[in-house]
Amino acid sequence: MFQKKVLILTSTASFLAQFNHRNIEILQNMNYEVHVAANFTHYGTLSGKSNQKFIDWLYKKGVVVHDVSIRRGLGNLLDNLNALLKINKLMKQEQFSFVHVHTPIASVLGRVMAFKNRVPVIYTAHGFHFSKTSAKVNWLIFPIEWSLSYITQQLIVINQEDYLFARRHLHAKSIDYQAGVGINFNLVKTTTLAEHIEANKALRDKFNLPDDVRIIVSVGELSARKNHRIVIESLKKIERTDVHYVIAGKGHLLSYLKSLAGELDIESQVHFINYTTAIRRLNLAADVAILPSLREGLSRAGLEAIRDGAYLLGSDIRGIKDYIVNDNVGKTFDPHDSEALAKLLIQTIDEPRHKLNQQSIDNLMIFDRKNIDRQMRAVYKKIGIENAN
């Protein structure tokens, strides 16, 4: 029996693992044979164990896996050229009904080959590299995005700033807004003070910290974009030895961040967890969560911190201020200003945990995964019908 086929294409396996579990299941429930293509060798921010666990899950679900040599950024030109040829071969062989691309390099390679092979394409832009607050050099990417928009059947953007920009300046056949990739926001209603106390104690025990310390948590890879540096500098400015900063993530700036804490003489107050899947436990332990990024699409880490009951201090940028809807949820700050963040820390670090009011919860339910899945099913159904016609 003939079965329709669809390809999901991303640069790294880690991105595929974080954002596409439910899309795969939605497509399979719509009777598509799902193929995924990503770099499973240089797999990104996952641990090796988590990468293998995800591969096992894909095979268990009957997903067809293709390892392609896409490299982030400009990466290795030869690797990306080989990936382009493999994607082209895949599209010729498999005759996909449509392709869903994510991440900048994968979206370029995938859309070019989809156009060549006359395959409809959906592109989810997880935050354009160019924005009101991005560096001017990032705008060099805009002409590429503008050109490729002419061959994009469906563009999905995940924050309001990108949506308004796309409507004004890009030319995809359809442009839709979705509030991120969706998380289980209903968990906000079940979070208890007892859970916070228990998780906080477990984290203090892990690092042998006294009972009376206050804990700041950040989740995100150790990169310049995630900007953990500004939090370390702010921690020095508040001059409180009872406040500790826990960072969950892996990345090339680990040595630099450790050295910075040492130079500021607060190395005993800064702790690194590396990659972890126990994000909810970490957020439950936090007295305050900080998301200091310089650029985001729509950060899942901040939403999960709010959902898990942590008060969020987040950068005043698109993709974060979208969900810091009022002071009940959190506050925003200039991610370049350590003094401003230090002042917010002084104001909030000793505040007891509180539940979100109903108005805040109602405003934030747009980010719930059931809402996102409903929108995604509609997109897949629409492009399937258009392709059939």
Cα angle 204, 205, 211 (rounded to 5 degrees) comes to 50
pLDDT of residue 389: 64
Q: What is the pLDDT of residues 59-101, one digit of tens each?
A: 999 999 999 988 876 557 788 888 899 999 999 999 999 999 9
Buried/exposed 285-310: b ≥16 CB within 10 Å, e otherwise: bbbbbbbbbbbbbbbbbbbbbbbbbb
Spatial separation of the C-alpha atoms in residues 221 and 253, rounded to whole Å: 9
pLDDT beneath 50: ranges in the chain:
1
pLDDT of residue 48: 77
- Mean pLDDT, all residues of the chain: 92
Expressed in angstroms, the distance from the first to the final Cα of the chain is 21
Model confidence, pTM: 0.89
Determine contact, residues 34/4, Cβ cutoff 8 Å.
no
**Helix 142-149, helix 104-116: angle, nearest 10:** 30
pLDDT of residue 272: 96
Spatial separation of the C-alpha atoms in residues 105 and 302, rounded to whole Å: 25
Question: What Cα–Cα distance (Å) separates residue 253 from each residue in 227, 256, 261, 272, 274?
Answer: 10, 5, 12, 12, 12
pLDDT of residue 1: 45
Spatial separation of the C-alpha atoms in residues 19 and 209, rounded to whole Å: 35
Residue with tokens 């805040």: 360
pLDDT of residue 75: 57
pLDDT of residue 354: 86
Domains of the chain from N-terminus onward: 4-182+368-388 (3.40.50.2000), 185-366 (3.40.50.2000)
Determine contact, residues 236/266, Cβ cutoff 8 Å.
yes
DSSP 353: P
Residue with tokens 């071969």: 89
Map residue 217 onto helix, strand or coil. Answer: strand
pLDDT of residue 81: 86
